[in-house]
Amino acid sequence: MNILKELTVNDKNNFFLMAGPCVIEGEEMALHIAEKIVTMTDKLGIPYVFKGSYRKANRSRLDSFTGIGDEKALKILRKVHETFSIPTVTDIHETTEAAMAAEYVDVLQIPAFLCRQTDLLIAAAKTGKIVNIKKGQFLSPEAMQFAAQKVVDAGNTNVMLTERGTTFGYTDLVVDYRGIPKMQQFGFPVVMDVTHSLQQPNQTSGVTGGLPQLITTVAKAAVAVGVDGLFIETHPEPRKAKSDGANMLSLDLLNDLLIQLVRIRQAIL
């Protein structure tokens, strides 16, 4: 089964969705979120990948929540896959994590800050899994062709590229939508990371802020310019989320947003 092809070539010619909590907080929560989103995406004909980080390695403060334990979280991701027959994606941060995580998930994600790490990209490539590379906040869209080429040269053509905003000053990000078609020219599916592009990093409190009220705006614009997929972090209670709650979408708002996005997609076809 070619998962990447199934995500990008579907009966309704729809965008695909990568969505879930920022980090796996527990089995019950993960299964609840997955079940809700599967119900939505099945009705709308949206191919769906469940997203959840098994560990958060890039935190502002030492006392920030990082996870419930690697193996425990990875087993939950596998259970989501087995329960709902959907692919799953998680981040990796070091070369030693690639093979370990690949035993449990279908897509390995390279965090934006690590998108130039050659050894990490090669390790991910060698697993044979889909490799989703997030564009660094410090890189131009054109520069991402070199990150992708490292994976291809390592023998793996299953690559996705993700736009997640560009650093604008010290505490803000902006999205240049020209980057989506520019990266699509490299021949790989391009994803818009809606929620992380609305982060407000480097706050003096040490806790990243965000602008969740603009999630709808960013998502609509991305679909309007023809993005292949959307990445949205969502939680039943963002205020209580253990990571990145400030820029997450409340789960009860996701369905209405997806309905609007599907309409935009249909209008531009």
Mean pLDDT (whole number) for 216-244 = 94
CB contact at 8 A, 81 and 32: no
Tell whether the model's pLDDT for residue 26 goes beyond 80: yes
pLDDT in tens, 181-193: 999 999 999 999 9
The CA distance from 52 to 236, in Å, is 14
Which is nearest to 231 in space by CA: 194, 260, 190, 188? 194
* CA quadruple 211, 108, 50, 162: dihedral sign: positive
Tell whether the model's pLDDT for residue 232 goes beyond 90: yes
Tell whether the model's pLDDT for residue 202 goes beyond 80: no
Q: What pLDDT was estimated at residue 62?
A: 67
Tell whether the model's pLDDT for residue 64 goes beyond 80: no
Q: What pLDDT was estimated at residue 9?
A: 87
Tell whether the model's pLDDT for residue 61 goes beyond 70: no
Which whole-number Å values give the CA distances from 250 to 52, 80, 236, 239, in the listed order? 15, 20, 6, 9
The domain over range 3-268 is classified in CATH as 3.20.20.70: yes
Q: What pLDDT was estimated at residue 1?
A: 58
Q: What pLDDT was estimated at residue 208?
A: 76
Q: How confident is the model at residue 222 (pLDDT cuts 50, 70, 90)?
A: very high
How far does CA 152 lie from the centroid of its chain? 20
Which is nearest to 152 in space by CA: 171, 176, 172, 125? 125
Mean pLDDT (whole number) for 110-120 = 97
Tell whether the model's pLDDT for residue 48 goes beyond 70: yes
CB contact at 8 A, 123 and 93: no
